[in-house]
Chains A and B, each alone.
Chain A
Amino acid sequence: MKQKNRLVVFGRTDPNQPINFTFNGKPYQGLLGDTLASALLANGVNVVGRSFKYARPRGIVGHGPEEPNGIIQLGSGSATVPNLKVTQVELYEGLDAKSVNGWPSVNIDVMGLVGAFGRLMPPGFYYKTFMYPKKLWMTYEHFIRKAAGLGKTPTEADPDTYEKLNQHCDVLVVGAGPAGLTAALEAGLTGARVIIADEQSEFGGSLLASTQPIDDQSSTDWIAQTVSAITAMPNVQRLSRSTVFGYYDHNFLTILEKRTDHLGINSPQGARQRLHRVRAKQVVLATGAFERPLVFAHNDIPGVMQASSVSTYVNRYGVAPGEKLVLATTNDNAYQTAIDWYNSGRVVVAVVDTRQATNGPLVSHVKDLGIEVLQGYGVIQAMGSKRVRGALVAPLNENGTKVTGPVEQLKCDLIATSGGWSAAVHLSSHTGAKPIWDDAIVSFRPGISKQQERSVGACNGTFDLAQGLLEGALAGSEAAQLAGFGDGQVKRGMPIVNTLEEQAQQALFLIPHTLPSSRAPSQFVDLQLDVSAAGIELAVTEGFESVEHVKRYTALGFGTDQGKLGNINGMAILANALGQSIAETGTTIFRPSYTPTTFGAIAGRDIGELFDPERYTAMHRWHEQQGAVFEDVGQWKRPWFFPNQQETMHQAVNRECMAVRNSIGILDASTLGKIDIQGPDAAEFITRMYTNSYLTLAPGKCRYGVMLKEDGMIFDDGVCACISDNHYLMFTTTGGAAGVLAWLELWQQTEWPELQVYFTSVTDHWATATITGPNARNVMAKVCDDIDLSADKFGFMDWRDGTVAGLAARVFRISFTGELTYEINVAANYGRYLWERLMAAGAEFDITPYGTEAMHVLRAEKGFIIVGQDTDGSMTPTDMNMDWVIGKKKTFSFVGKRSLERSDCLRDNRKRLVGLKTLVPTAVIPEGAQIVNDPHQPLPMAMQGHVTSSYFSANLDHSIALAVVKGGLNRMGEIVYCPAADGSSIAAEIVNSVFYDPKGERQHV
């Protein structure tokens, strides 16, 4: 397999290490050290994709993250990766890539038809065309997505692993080009912790493709020397293949390190990518610059490339992407490309320079080589379809705004263009610094910094190499000093660089055509999204003025390249159309990510079973061994029900419920939130937080309370026990525990710091086994002989310290079932032992473990609410028929009290908690069902309320439900209906919310 464009004597690729790969199904060979882009160019592959809107054939333009056209899908199956840039994919054996855009193929394309009607697709085309009729949007969307070629997401789980690493450093250097290297070196010499990150496979940045000597040695030798000096310092961490993609507040930056991507898909060992989350004391940005392409007619034909990219392919990769070069430029700097091309042994047809008179050293050098230089000329149009065949050139006026003479054609297959350099101000812009336009360098510069950072080198608008090296060194030592290291002085001597003087460049963002932009062949500004100069001008004609609006209307800079090539030209064309300066027009805001980032890296290892912590009680393994089915309650795993063999959930829950009412059940209640409260003002504080009073609660006693937010709505409920004077234990809901503790701390610390009270979470300390049912006292008596269990000595809502199963225990007579109940708390390390002893003691009474589902049914039979199920943040205690829990005579107010007196809280027809008894005893209403008076009324029906809890009660042999119904307490006995989506409805009678033992006699025993 011949690589027709491979040069023999150039580059950092290894001719002895061929690598086989496939592109769009066709096999090719490249070399170790190639990117996919350089390998494709070596093989003379012209077309790598089709454009977004017009489906025009497109070739490789750049050599880095700015590449707009070479967007590929890598691999297949579960490990496929969409939307990679060919310029950023390192070649590996067996690499298999396909163009994402080009359906059904890049060379034969049904979308070409659309392309032929390109003029029918003006900016805002999608807004204008696909808006109406609305019902066709789904069809349009399908068509647009297919046409847009956004790549394919894998259909299976990602087989790779990713991880996140939290890093801290004194100085973070972003970019390992010349300025970044001197910055890292100087910062490292002070002993500071330094991280230097660069997105390329090796350090060196632009110098990797440079022929410029430094310190009398080749630039690559200088890189090697500098990198080895940095490597020798253990305090400097080097990250290659690592893109700093986001810069956030407080000097927090994110780096995506690609660890094994270059080894191939499914490569062995360790994480594929690592997300570094860096807290840096000081940051040095040395992110370089992007060359600006020239905008002219049909500048999108494959074979039109960036001048610096042509040099990079020649010098770094040993690839000459063509035969005959025409160089189009507005500056001296790009003349180097003509020299590089000449040195590669291929033909330079001409240099076309828009400036009228130029005679800098580089220009003279090119002229000395015998290369024709057309001064005061522009390339106004490229010729060809799938490859450049020629360049139309014409003389221009001094401003570069008009063609002033006859057009002639130069035969060539490669047009390299340079419109100067744009500083890569992206990361600085992430911090909120607004870039500032500088006419002197025809580029934005970083704005005034809002973080502990500075930009150096080309990203600071310092395009001169010697200046960049110095800036880097100064910034490295300064940053280290500000972080507390070194004296701020540069330690190393500055490298000697023989800089050639460059003459002034011309600020030219659109090469004129003989026809006006609106009539000339498309002059592309944003190649990825097919935004043309005419499109931007049309947007202005249609009334758009703000750069942000024009961006969204035309889609300028919206592609995966984020307009790294096109944005500045686009803004300049916009400014010109608006008749204002670029500075006045400004730029759009750059945001993270700088380059696309995988979701895998952002997720890291927080996936699967590690996605959210699973909290287990001390008895968890016992439940597992009994075959419990678990339910998530917050982060806790709670047994939902304990099925015997062959039992359905319904059968298991019925059995568990019956056991509690008829003999005894046992529940793991360890997950309930428990807060220990101590201090002289504990009772006062608790009384301010709950609606009722705790001032008179005596040691040994418990009380149920409801907590409100300031809006008067129920937020949590639970029992509070008085342990001793100044010492209380508060129970919260399982899910609400952390929120309640934070709520208490908030009020104590910000509103009532004068109240002396301390809170401590003891949720994890106690394991809680609840035994409940008529036989609970009999079982208790078997395991406890130091508490008097008689009803008059240890009554309902009392608690006692004692010894249970040989363990120090706190026993509470509180009940969520309405039965005789003991909640036994022991230190959690003995929780399973306690549980097993209770099971053994209860065996003769057929003690039955029950889960949260039976717990829910049992409490619903009693009409006990569950906060978060029967309430939803819009329910007051009165709505829940709990006026009795609101203390009327409290001297101090309580949180939420004032809101209870709002007129809306007092109106008559608020939704009130009621019971629903279905007319058909077996019909269970779906929870959440809406309630109406007449199921046959026309839509939309008048809603009366909704069902909050609904179960079949085995004990009552009847379906029961709790619901909130407008004015429900005045509607007892009325029949209401719960319509279902299928048109049927369930009829139910409004009844009292307490279905079972309404007088509470069973728990007062």
Chain B
Amino acid sequence: MSESLQPQPRFESPSHYVRGRHSGNVQSVTDAGLVVTEVNNGCYLNLRGDASNAEFNAAVLSVLGISLPLMPGTFMANDTECLYWLGPNEWLLVSAQPGQKREAELRAVLNGHIAVVDVSGGFTQLNLSGPSLNFVLKKSSVYDFEAWWIQPKNDLRCVQTTFAKASALVIGQSQGTVAIIIRRSFTDYIAQWLLDCAADNGCFISP
């Protein structure tokens, strides 16, 4: 019998080896200055196309139920899909659906010069929250996240920027919570950075 018939390949998320770690004198999520929680999304797809092409926009809307965000630094979301603006002709789709399925659905309706690339293995999402969050963001990135909370706009905000010495897509959620989408190979480094960064009041990575 071929071994390939064995069921259920084992999935190992990028944060597999750092889950449950903590710094400072904290033992749980309740007393930590910073709580880090990995979110396992269904898929990450990189989408390229011409934003000025109405057919392109309509096709995306027809598959995902949300329109392309066209304003820099914003995103669109519904219950299962998020589309993040990465550039004038580039978006990141984070979906609860499997990557192959979404890619096939998009390719079926998109025409012309487009690209859809499954990058599900390349990214992970960490949600950051807790009283140390703003301090941690100031330490980690040159971007002015404070402005998101001071002058709230109706748009959902996100930005690709530096995070420590790596890069991240930082997403504003509610006041006091952000998500970062980072490259898989930097996960251990980012985790180590966050543990160090928030050590004064403790950092806890959810198991």
Name A's B-contacting residues (CB within 8 A).
Answer: 163-168, 193, 269-270, 277, 279, 605-606, 609-610, 612-618, 621, 636, 676, 678-680, 756, 758, 760-767, 782-786, 803-808, 826-834, 837, 840-841
Report, nearest first, the 7 A-B pairs whose CB atoms are least far apart: A764-B122, A828-B121, A827-B121, A765-B122, A678-B115, A615-B185, A168-B144
**A617-B185 Cα distance, complex, nearest whole Å:** 6
Supply 18 further A-B pairs (C-beta < 8 A) apart from A168-B147, A678-B48: A167-B138, A193-B146, A279-B142, A613-B164, A613-B186, A618-B184, A676-B117, A758-B89, A758-B90, A761-B122, A765-B122, A782-B2, A783-B2, A784-B2, A805-B9, A807-B9, A833-B11, A834-B9
Please state if B48 and A758 are interface contacts (CB–CB under 8 Å).
yes
| Cβ-closest chain A residue relative to B189 | A613
A692 to B112 alpha-carbon distance, docked (Å): 27
The residue that A610 contacts in the complex, of B123, B144, B193, with Cβ under 8 A, is: B193
Contacts of A765 in B (CB 8 A): 118-122
| CB atoms of A758 and B115 under 8 A apart | yes
Contact with A along B107-125 (1 / 0, CB 8 A): 0000001110111111100
Q: Tell whether A166 pairs with B141 under 8 Å between CB atoms, given A614-B188, A758-B48.
A: yes
CB distance A605 to B117 under 8 Å? no
Residue B5, interface by CB 8 Å: yes
Say whether A829 contacts B11, CB under 8 Å.
Answer: yes
- Which of the residues B90, B117, B138 comes within 8 Å of A165, measured between beta carbons? B138
Neighbouring A residues of B28 by C-beta, 8 Å: none
For A612, the chain B residues whose CB sits under 8 A away are 165
A678 touches B117 (CB 8 A): yes
Among B97-147, those with CB < 8 Å from A are 99-100, 113-115, 117-123, 135, 138-139, 141-144, 146-147
Is B119 touching A760 in the complex (CB atoms < 8 A)?
yes
Contact indicator B115/A605 (Cβ below 8 Å): no
A616 contacts which chain B residues (CB < 8 A)?
185, 187-188
Contacts of B13 in A (CB 8 A): 829
Q: How far is the CB of A675 from chain B (nearest CB, A)?
A: 10
Instruction: Judge if B206 is at the interface, Cβ distance under 8 Å.
Output: no
Report how far A617 CA is from B99 CA in the complex, Å: 21
With A166-B142, A806-B9 known as contacts, the answer to whether A680 contacts B113 (CB < 8 A) is yes
Q: In the complex, what distance in Å separates the CA atom of A805 from the CA atom of B2?
A: 9
Contact of A613 among B17, B121, B144, B166 (CB under 8 A): B166
Cβ 8 A contact of A806, one of B7, B12, B142, B188? B7
Interface centre among B90, B185, B200 (most CB of A within 10 A): B185
- The interface residues of chain B lying within 8 Å CB-to-CB of A676 are 115, 117
12 A-B pairs with C-beta separation under 8 A:
A605-B193, A606-B164, A613-B165, A618-B121, A760-B46, A760-B115, A762-B122, A765-B121, A785-B2, A806-B5, A828-B14, A829-B12
Residue of B3, B100, B115, B189 touching A783 (CB-CB under 8 A): B3
Q: Which of B4, B48, B114, B186 gathers most chain A CB within 10 Å?
A: B4
Per a CB cutoff under 8 Å, which of A279, A610, A621, A830 touches B11?
A830
Proximity string of chain B (13-43) to chain A, C-beta cutoff 8 Å, 1 when within and 0 when not: 1100100000000000000000000000000
Report the Cα distance A270→B197, complex, angstroms.
11
Give Cα distance in the complex from A760 to B91, angstroms.
11
Check B3 against A837 for contact (C-beta < 8 Å): yes
Q: How far is B161's CA from A756's CA once the two chains are assembled, in angstroms?
A: 27
CA of A767 to CA of B89, assembled, Å: 27
Provide the bound-state CA to CA distance between A277 and B164, in Å. Answer: 14
B54 close to A (CB within 8 Å): no
**Is B192 an interface residue when CB atoms closer than 8 A count as contact?**
yes
Verify if B81 is at the interface (C-beta below 8 Å from A). no
Chain B residues near A806: list those with CB within 8 A.
4-9
Q: Residue of A at shortest CB range from B49?
A: A758
**Chain A residues whose C-beta falls within 8 Å of the C-beta of B5 in the assembled complex:** 785, 806
Of chain A, the residue at the smallest CB distance from B183 is A764
Known contacts A165-B139, A783-B3, A829-B12; A764/B121 CB under 8 A: yes
Closest to A678 in B: B115
Chain B contacts of A679 at CB under 8 A?
Answer: 113, 115
Task: Assess A829 versus B3: contact at CB under 8 Å? Given A168-B146, A807-B9.
Answer: no
Interface centre among A615, A636, A766, A784, by most B CB within 10 Å?
A615
B117 touches A762 (CB 8 A): yes
Taken together as a complex, chains A and B put the C-alpha atoms of A808 and B100 apart, in Å, by 10
Least Cβ distance of B44 to chain A in Å?
8
Contacts of A783 in B (CB 8 A): 2-4
Distance, CA A833 to CA B3, complexed state (A): 13
- How many residue-residue contacts, CB under 8 A, span A and B? 154
Chain B residues with CB under 8 Å of A803's CB are: 4
Take A765-B118, A806-B9 as given contacts and tell me if A829 and B14 are in contact as well, using a CB distance cutoff of 8 Å: yes
Query: A residues within 8 A CB of B184?
Result: 618, 764, 828-829
Q: Which residues of B contact A782 (CB under 8 A)?
A: 2-3
A677 to B, closest residue via Cβ: B115
Residues of B with C-beta under 8 A to A614: 188-189
A559 to chain B, nearest CB (A): 34
A761 contacts across to B, CB distance below 8 A: 122
CA distance A807 to B123 in the complex (A): 19
Q: Is B153 an interface residue (CB 8 A)?
A: no
Minimum CB–CB distance for A731 against chain B, Å: 15
| A782 to B10 alpha-carbon distance, docked (Å) | 18
Which A residues touch B189, using CB under 8 A? Answer: 610, 613-615
Within the complex, what minimum Cβ distance (angstroms) separates A145 from chain B?
A: 35
B145 → chain A closest CB, angstroms: 9
Bound Cα distance A471, B138 (Å) = 32
A679 to B89, CA, bound (A): 13
Contact of A615 among B6, B141, B186 (CB under 8 A): B186
The interface residues of chain B lying within 8 Å CB-to-CB of A840 are 3
- Chain A's closest residue to B8 (CB) is A806
Of the candidates B9, B12, B139, B144, which one forms a contact with A279 in the assembled complex, judged by CB atoms under 8 Å apart?
Answer: B144
Residues on the B chain within 8 Å of A833, using CB: 9-12
- Complex alpha-carbon distance, A828 and B11, angstroms: 9
Q: Give the nearest-CB partner of A766 in chain B.
A: B121
Chain A residues closer than 8 Å to B117, beta-carbon distance: 676, 678, 760, 762
Given A610-B192, A760-B48, A765-B119: A166 and B138 within 8 A (CB)?
A: yes
Whether the Cβ atoms of A763 and B115 lie closer than 8 Å is no
Q: How far is the CA of A678 from the CA of B192 in the complex (A)?
A: 36
Complex: how many Å from CA A756 to CA B123? 26
> A954 to B8, alpha carbons, bound, how many Å?
41
Q: A610-B164, A615-B189, A784-B4 are in contact. Are A270 and B200 (CB under 8 A)?
A: yes
What is the CB-to-nearest-CB distance from B73 to chain A, in angstroms, rounded to a whole number? 15
Cβ contacts under 8 Å, A613 to chain B:
164-166, 186, 189
A165 to B183: give the CA distance in the assembly, Å: 24
Q: Specify which chain A residues have a CB less than 8 angstroms from the CB of B192 in the assembled complex.
A: 609-610
Contact of A841 among B3, B113, B164 (CB under 8 A): B3
Bound together, the chains give a CA A841 to CA B3 distance in angstroms of 8
Min C-beta distance of B158 to chain A, whole Å = 18
Q: How far is the CA of A837 from the CA of B186 in the complex (A)?
A: 25
Residues of A within 8 A of B6 (CB): 805-806
A618 CA to B186 CA in the complex, in Å?
11
B122 touches A828 (CB 8 A): yes
Which B residues touch A615, using CB under 8 A? 185-186, 189
Measured in the bound complex, the distance between the Cα atoms of B9 and A830 in whole Å is 7
Q: A678 to B117, alpha carbons, bound, how many Å?
A: 9
Report A-chain residues with C-beta under 8 Å of the C-beta of B143: 166
Q: What residues on B are CB-neighbors of A828 within 8 Å?
A: 14, 121-122, 184
Cβ distance A149 to chain B, nearest Cβ, rounded Å: 37
Contact with A along B82-98 (1 / 0, CB 8 A): 00000001100000000
CA of A837 to CA of B8 in the docked complex: distance in angstroms?
A: 12
A259 to B53, CA, bound (A): 55
A803 to B9, CA, bound (A): 12
Complex CA gap A346/B142 in Å reads 55
What residues on B are CB-neighbors of A164 within 8 Å?
A: 139
In angstroms, how far is the closest chain B Cβ from the Cβ of A167?
7
Known contacts A277-B142, A618-B184, A765-B122: does B12 contact A805 (CB below 8 Å)?
no
Name the residue among B5, B114, B121, B142 with the largest chain A CB count within 10 angstroms.
B121
